[in-house]
C-alpha cells in the first residue's frame, strides 16, 4: 500500500506571532518556519505503518512557496520515500485556502492512487481543520478525523478518535483519509545519517496549472488583530467572596 | 523559555560572515543538509536538553560509595542525542564518521552547550577522547575504543591534573610501569576529572598522562595512556572514584578525584610513543581551547537573550521626560541605561561567538591544507580561549543585573548560566597561562610571524571597510601601535624576561579587544546586505558601541605594556 501525507510549512510553534501593522495578516518575514506539528505526527505514523509492513511507500506532498522544499526534506529525512512540491505561491504571506489544497490533493491522489491519506487534523497557523474533510468529500472516500490510534486490518482502517467526552473507535473502508491528533505518537528526530540520505531521495516540482486547479483565494481577510490582553486578576480574601464574584460578576455559576 | 541561541544570528555568522557554504561544497555537502542538521540540533536542545538543565543543577550527581547517581532525564537525552547520530558528525568517513565540517559541528554543539552545559559535557568529552584516538591511535586501538565512541556507546575523559599538579604538568607523579605483554600498569591520583565516573553508556575511556620510570624529568618524560573503565573481558579495571567535587556550576557533570592502581595497577595502553604524551595531548588541547571559548560564548549569548526578553516584558518607571504618574509604566528596555547594558552584553557575547566560529572555520581551512592558517590559529587560540571566558561571562553578569532581584534567584536561569560559565576562565589553561602562552610563546614564535599573519588579515578587512571610515581608521591606527609596542617589548624579552612577561594577561586582554573590534567590523560589513534591515542596523550599532565604549580601554593597557610597568612585578610578597 502507498500512503500519501500532505505536509504544510507553517510558522514555528515556538515563535511569538506578531500581527502586521496593516492588519492584513501575521508577519512571516524573517520568521522561523517549520513543519506543522500535526503533519509531523502524520509522517511519523506513515513511517510506523511501513515499519510494521502495512505500507510500502510513503509520498509526502506540500503546497505553497518554494521554501516548502525544506519541509519536504525534513519529512524525507524522517523516513518518507519521495516528495512532491506544488509551487503555488511566491510570497510566504499568501495562504492557499483549504478548498484549493483539497482539490490539488485530490488530483495528486488520482495520479498516485494511495490506499491511505494521513494528514494533520489542522495546521497551527490558521487552525482551519478543513482540508482532510474536504478531500474526503471530493474523493468520495471515508474519513476518520482526530485519530489517536490507527491500525490496519485487511481493507479497513481501525481508528480511535478523540471526541468530546471520550474516545470513539470506528472502522473505515480504505482507501480512506485519516486526520491525526496530538496523542497519536511522538514524532522522531531527523537523524544525521537520514538527513544525508534524504538528499538523494526524489523531489518532484509541480505547479497548480499541472493539475488544472485555480488556487486564487475565495475568501478576503477583513482584519487580523491580536487577541485582547488578559485583564489583571484580583486577590480575593475568602471563599465566600470568590463564590460571590463568580455568581454575580462573572455570572458563571 | 528557549532563548538558547538566536538562529538568525547563527545563520548570519555561518553563511554571511564565514561562508560555510564553500566548505560544505568542498566536502560534498550543501546548505540544505547543514540547515537540517542545525534544526535537529536546535530541537533536540529544546526538547531533550534544556528542560532538565535547572533540575540537573539543583540535584547534582551523588556517590553512595559504590554507584554514582544522575537524574533519569540524563539517560533519555543521551539516547536521543546518540540516535540522532551526533557523535559521528565530525569524524572522518574512514573512521565511520560523517566527515562534516568542524565549523558546522561547533555550531550544532553550541545549541547543546547553551541548553544544558552540565549534560552536554558528557558527549563532548567523549568526542574529545575520540578525536585524540582518531589522530594518534593504532588501528587496533581505534577499532576497540574509537568506533564505540562514534556510535555513542562509550564515553571519555582527559586525566591530566593531579592534586599537587594542575597548571604545572611537569610535576605529575602518576607512573606507568611497562609489562611484558606491551601494556602498562598505572599508579597515581588524578584530580578534576570531568565525567570520570557515571553509569551511562557501556564504558569510559580515560586518557591518562603518566610518567614511565627512568624517563626524562619534567614534561619531556610524560606519556599518554588509554585506561578503560572496563577491560575487554568485561571486568572492572583498577580505577576508583575517590570522591566527587561539589562545584559552583556545571553541576550536572560529575567531577572526580580518581585513584589508579589501588589494587595492583590499572591496565593502560600507550598512545603514540613513550615520553611524547604532552605534545599529543596539546595537539588536541588547541581544539579543546576553541571549544572552551565557544562554550563560554554560547552561555553568554543565552544569558543575553534571556535579558532581552525580560527587558521587553518587565515594566518599571516611565520615560525621564514623562511627569505623569498615572501613565502606564514602560518596559525597562525603554530606559537608555538598560539598552546600554544590553548593548554591552551583546557586544561581548555575540562578538565572542563570531570569534569562536571564525576559529572553527580556520580549523576547517587548516584541514583543507591552506597556507598560513596555522599561524593565525597559533596567535588566536589563547585569545579565543580567554576573551570569551572573561567577557561572555560578563554578559551573564549583566543578564543578572537586568533581571534585578529576580536575576539573583533560582527562579530565573540567568544565575545558573553565570555559575556555569564561571568555570571557563579556569579550566583548559587558566587565563594567566593563556597570557604566558600568547606573549611568551606565540608572539615571539618564528620571528613574530603569527602576529604579522593576524595583522595582515585585519588589514584585508580594513581594505573593505569604506562604509565605516571612522572605525577603519581607529582600528588601523591601533594596529600600528600594537605592532610598535610589541616590537619594543620583544626587544627586551631576552634581557629582562620577567618584566616582559609580568603583564602578559594585560597583553592578552588588549589583543583580545583588538581582535574583537575586528570581528565586529567584519560583522557590520557582512550584515549590510541582510534581508532584514533591522538586523543590519543592530549589528552596525553594536559595532559602533564596541569601538566607542570598549576599544579605548586598549590605550591605557598599551601604555602599561609599552613602559613594561613593574608595579606588580616589584611588589614584595610580604606586602599581601
pLDDT, tens digit, 9 for 90 and up, residues A20-67: 888 888 988 888 899 999 999 999 999 999 999 999 999 999 999 999
Give the pLDDT score at B137: 95
Asked, as a colleague might, if the bond just before A175 is cis with ω within 30 of 0, I would say yes
Q: Which three cell numbers stand for residue B558?
A: 598599551
Average pLDDT across each block of 10 residues of chain B; the chain has 576 residues. List them in order.
92 96 91 93 95 96 94 92 95 93 97 97 94 95 96 95 90 96 97 94 96 94 97 96 96 96 96 93 84 97 98 94 91 97 98 98 94 95 98 98 97 98 95 96 94 97 97 98 97 94 97 98 96 94 98 98 96 96
Domain boundaries, given as residue ranges, for chain A: 2-249
Sequence-ordered alpha helix ranges (H) in chain A: 37-51, 68-78, 98-112, 131-139, 192-198, 239-244
B494 CB-side CA count, 13 A: 3
Contact A199 B30 (CB under 8 A): yes
Q: Which residue, among A21, A77, A80, A191, would best test binding to B if mutated, counting the most B CBs under 10 Å from its CB?
A: A191
Contact B84 A74 (CB under 8 A): no
Q: Which of B275, B302, B320 is the last residue of a domain?
A: B275
Give the pLDDT score at B102: 95
Verify that B135 and B172 share a domain, yes or no: no
CA B151, CA B131: separation in Å to the nearest integer? Answer: 14
Give the pLDDT score at A251: 84
Per the CB < 8 A criterion, the answer to whether A142 and A172 are in contact is yes
Task: Render the burial of B323-338: b for 16+ CB within 10 Å, e for the rest.
Answer: eeeeeeeeebbbbeeb
Per the CB < 8 A criterion, the answer to whether B183 and B267 are in contact is yes
Per the CB < 8 A criterion, the answer to whether A44 and A63 are in contact is no
CA B184 to chain centre: 33
Contact A199 B46 (CB under 8 A): no
Burial class (CB in 10 A: 0-12, 13-18, 19+), A231: exposed
For A35, which residue in chain B has the nearest alpha carbon?
Answer: B39
Verify that B160 and B23 share a domain, yes or no: no
Give the pLDDT score at B255: 96
Which residue has 483519509 as its cell numbers?
A177
Give the pLDDT score at B287: 84
Pick from A71, A60, A18: nearest CA to A224? A18
Give the pLDDT score at A97: 94
Q: Which of B140, B155, B170 is the last residue of a domain?
A: B155
Q: Give me the residue from B2, B33, B532 closest to A195, CB to CB.
A: B33
- Please, what is the Cα angle at B457 between B453 and B460, to 5 degrees? 140
Q: Give me the residue from A14, A70, A195 closest to B37, CB to CB.
A: A195
Q: Residue B168: which CATH number?
A: 2.40.110.20
Q: Is it the case that residue A101 has pLDDT exceeding 90?
A: yes
CB of B2 within 8 Å of any CB in chain A?
Answer: yes
Verify that B248 and B188 share a domain, yes or no: yes
Verify that B188 and B148 share a domain, yes or no: no
Give the pLDDT score at B153: 95
Give residue ranges of A with CB < 8 Å to any B CB.
14, 29-30, 32, 34, 69-70, 73-74, 77, 189-196, 198-199
Q: Which of B155, B173, B194 is the last residue of a domain?
A: B155
Q: Is it the case that residue A16 has pLDDT exceeding 90?
A: no
Verify that B165 and B140 share a domain, yes or no: no
- In whole numbers, what is the pLDDT of chain A averaged over residues? 94
Give the pLDDT score at A232: 77
Strands A156-163 and A142-153, how do they pair?
A: antiparallel
In a domain, B494, yes or no: yes
Q: Residue A92 — very low, low, confident or very high, per pLDDT cuts 50/70/90?
A: confident
Verify that B144 and B168 share a domain, yes or no: no
Give the pLDDT score at B283: 76
Q: Is it the case that residue A75 has pLDDT exceeding 90?
A: yes
Per the CB < 8 A criterion, the answer to whether B485 and B561 are in contact is yes
Per the CB < 8 A criterion, the answer to whether B281 and B158 are in contact is yes
Q: Residue B30: which CATH number?
A: 1.10.540.10
CA B365, CA B292: separation in Å to the nearest integer? Answer: 20
Query: Which superfamily does CATH assign the domain made up of A2-249 to?
Result: HUPs (3.40.50.620)
Long-range (24+ apart) CB contacts under 8 A made by A21-26 are A23/A223, A23/A224, A23/A225, A24/A93, A24/A221, A24/A224, A25/A93, A25/A95, A25/A221, A25/A224, A26/A125, A26/A224
Give the pLDDT score at B125: 93
How many folded domains does chain B comprise? Answer: 3
Give the pLDDT score at B63: 95
In a domain, B565, yes or no: yes
Bridge partners, A173 (sequence order)? A156
Verify that B478 and B508 share a domain, yes or no: yes
- What spatial distance separates the first Cα and last Cα of chain B, rounded to whole Å? 46
Q: Give me the residue from B7, B8, B84 closest to A191, CB to CB.
A: B84
In a domain, B283, yes or no: no
In a domain, B287, yes or no: no
**Residues composing chain B:** 576
Contact A191 B39 (CB under 8 A): no
Give the pLDDT score at B67: 92
Host domain of residue B504: 430-571
Give the pLDDT score at B166: 87
Amino acid at each position: 500500500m502507498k500512503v500519501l501525507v500532505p505536509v504544510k510549512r507553517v510558522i514555528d510553534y515556538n515563535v511569538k506571532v506578531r500581527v502586521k501593522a496593516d492588519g492584513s495578516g501575521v508577519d512571516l518575514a524573517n520568521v522561523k518556519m517549520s513543519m506543522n506539528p500535526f503533519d509531523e505526527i502524520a509522517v511519523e505514523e506513515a513511517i510506523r505503518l511501513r515499519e510494521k509492513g502495512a505500507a510500502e511507500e510513503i509520498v509526502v506532498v506540500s503546497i505553497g512557496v518554494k521554501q516548502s522544499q525544506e519541509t519536504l526534506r525534513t519529512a524525507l529525512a524522517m523516513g518518507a520515500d519521495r516528495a512532491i512540491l506544488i509551487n503555488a505561491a511566491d510570497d510566504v504571506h499568501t495562504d492557499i485556502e483549504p478548498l484549493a489544497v483539497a482539490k490539488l490533493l485530490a488530483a495528486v491522489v488520482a495520479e498516485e492512487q494511495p490506499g491511505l491519506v494521513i494528514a494533520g487534523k489542522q495546521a497551527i497557523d490558521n487552525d482551519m481543520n478543513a482540508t482532510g474533510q474536504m478531500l474526503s468529500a471530493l474523493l468520495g472516500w471515508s474519513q476518520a478525523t482526530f485519530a489517536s490510534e490507527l491500525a490496519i486490518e485487511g481493507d479497513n482502517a481501525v481508528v480511535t478518535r478523540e471526541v468530546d467526552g471520550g474516545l470513539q473507535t470506528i472502522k473505515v473502508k480504505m482507501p480512506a483519509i485519516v486526520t491525526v491528533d496530538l496523542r497519536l505518537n511522538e514524532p522522531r528526530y531527523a537523524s544525521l545519517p537520514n538527513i544525508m540520505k534524504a538528499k538523494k531521495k526524489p523531489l518532484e516540482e509541480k505547479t497548480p496549472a499541472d493539475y488544472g486547479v485555480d488556487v486564487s483565494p475565495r475568501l478576503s481577510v477583513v482584519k487580523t488583530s491580536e487577541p485582547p490582553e488578559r485583564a489583571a486578576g484580583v486577590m480575593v480574601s475568602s471563599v465566600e467572596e470568590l463564590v460571590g464574584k463568580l455568581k454575580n460578576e462573572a455570572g458563571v455559576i | 523559555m528557549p532563548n538558547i541561541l538566536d538562529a538568525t544570528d547563527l545563520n548570519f555568522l555561518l553563511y554571511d560572515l564565514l561562508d560555510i557554504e564553500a566548505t560544505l561544497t568542498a566536502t560534498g555537502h550543501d546548505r540544505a543538509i547543514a540547515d537540517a542538521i542545525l534544526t535537529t540540533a536546535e530541537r533536540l536542545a529544546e526538547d531533550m536538553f534544556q528542560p532538565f538543565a535547572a533540575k540537573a543543577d539543583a540535584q547534582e550527581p551523588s556517590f553512595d560509595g559504590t554507584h554514582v547517581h544522575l537524574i533519569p532525564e540524563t539517560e533519555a537525552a543521551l539516547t536521543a542525542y546518540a540516535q540522532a547520530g551526533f557523535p559521528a558528525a565530525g569524524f572522518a568517513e574512514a573512521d565511520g564518521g560523517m566527515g562534516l565540517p568542524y565549523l558546522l559541528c561547533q555550531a550544532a554543539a553550541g545549541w547543546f552547550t547553551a541548553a544544558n552545559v552540565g549534560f552536554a559535557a558528557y558527549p563532548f568529552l567523549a568526542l574529545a577522547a575520540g578525536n585524540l584516538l582518531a589522530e594518534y591511535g593504532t588501528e587496533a586501538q581505534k577499532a576497540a575504543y574509537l568506533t564505540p565512541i562514534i556510535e555513542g556507546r562509550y564515553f571519555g575523559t582527559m586525566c591530566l591534573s593531579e592534586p599537587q599538579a594542575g597548571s604545572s604538568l611537569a610535576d605529575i607523579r602518576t607512573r606507568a610501569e611497562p609489562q611484558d605483554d606491551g601494556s602498562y600498569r598505572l599508579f597515581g591520583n588524578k584530580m578534576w576529572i570531568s565525567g570520570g565516573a557515571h553509569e551511562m553508556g557501556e564504558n569510559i575511556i580515560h586518557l591518562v598522562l603518566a610518567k614511565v620510570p627512568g624517563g626524562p624529568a619534567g614534561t619531556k618524560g610524560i606519556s599518554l595512556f588509554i585506561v578503560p573503565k572496563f577491560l575487554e573481558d568485561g571486568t572492572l579495571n583498577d580505577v576508583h572514584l575517590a570522591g566527587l567535587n561539589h562545584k559552583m556550576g556545571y553541576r550536572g557533570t560529575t567531577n572526580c578525584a580518581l585513584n589508579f592502581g589501588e589494587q595492583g595497577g590499572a591496565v593502560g595502553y600507550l598512545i603514540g610513543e613513550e615520553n611524547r604524551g604532552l605534545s599529543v595531548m596539546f595537539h588536541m588541547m588547541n581544539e579543546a581551547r576553541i571549544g572552551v571559548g565557544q562554550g563560554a560564548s554560547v552561555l553568554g549569548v543565552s544569558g543575553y537573550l534571556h535579558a532581552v526578553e525580560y527587558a521587553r516584558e518587565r515594566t518599571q518607571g516611565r520615560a525621564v521626560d514623562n511627569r505623569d504618574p498615572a501613565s502606564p509604566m514602560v518596559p525597562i528596555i525603554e530606559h537608555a541605561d538598560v539598552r546600554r547594558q544590553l548593548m554591552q552584553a551583546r557586544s561581548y557575547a555575540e562578538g565572542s561567538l563570531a570569534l569562536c566560529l571564525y576559529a572553527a572555520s580556520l580549523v576547517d581551512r587548516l584541514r583543507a591544507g591552506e597556507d598560513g592558517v596555522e599561524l593565525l590559529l597559533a596567535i588566536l587560540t589563547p585569545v579565543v580561549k580567554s576573551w570569551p571566558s572573561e567577557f561572555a561571562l560578563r554578559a551573564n553578569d549583566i543578564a543578572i543585573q537586568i533581571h534585578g532581584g529576580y536575576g539573583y534567584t533560582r527562579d530565573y536561569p540567568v544565575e545558573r548560566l553565570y555559575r556555569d560559565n564561571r568555570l571557563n576562565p579556569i579550566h583548559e589553561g587558566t587565563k594567566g597561562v593563556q597570557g604566558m602562552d600568547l606573549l611568551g610563546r606565540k608572539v615571539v614564535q618564528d620571528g613574530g610571524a603569527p602576529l604579522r599573519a593576524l595583522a595582515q588579515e585585519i588589514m584585508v578587512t580594513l581594505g573593505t571597510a569604506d562604509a565605516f571610515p571612522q572605525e577603519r581608521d581607529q582600528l588601523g591606527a591601533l594596529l600600528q601601535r600594537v605592532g610598535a609596542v610589541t616590537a619594543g617589548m620583544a626587544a627586551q624579552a631576552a634581557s629582562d624576561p620577567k618584566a616582559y612577561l609580568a603583564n602578559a594577561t594585560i597583553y592578552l586582554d588588549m589583543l583580545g579587544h583588538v581582535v574583537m573590534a575586528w570581528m565586529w567590523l567584519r560583522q557590520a560589513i557582512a550584515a549590510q546586505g541582510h534581508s532584514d534591515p533591522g538586523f543590519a542596523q543592530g549589528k552596525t550599532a553594536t559595532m559602533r558601541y564596541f569601538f566607542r565604549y570598549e576599544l579605548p580601554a586598549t590605550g591605557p593597557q598599551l601604555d602599561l605594556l609599552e613602559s613594561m610597568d613593574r608595579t606588580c612585578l616589584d611588589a614584595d610578597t610580604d606586602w599581601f
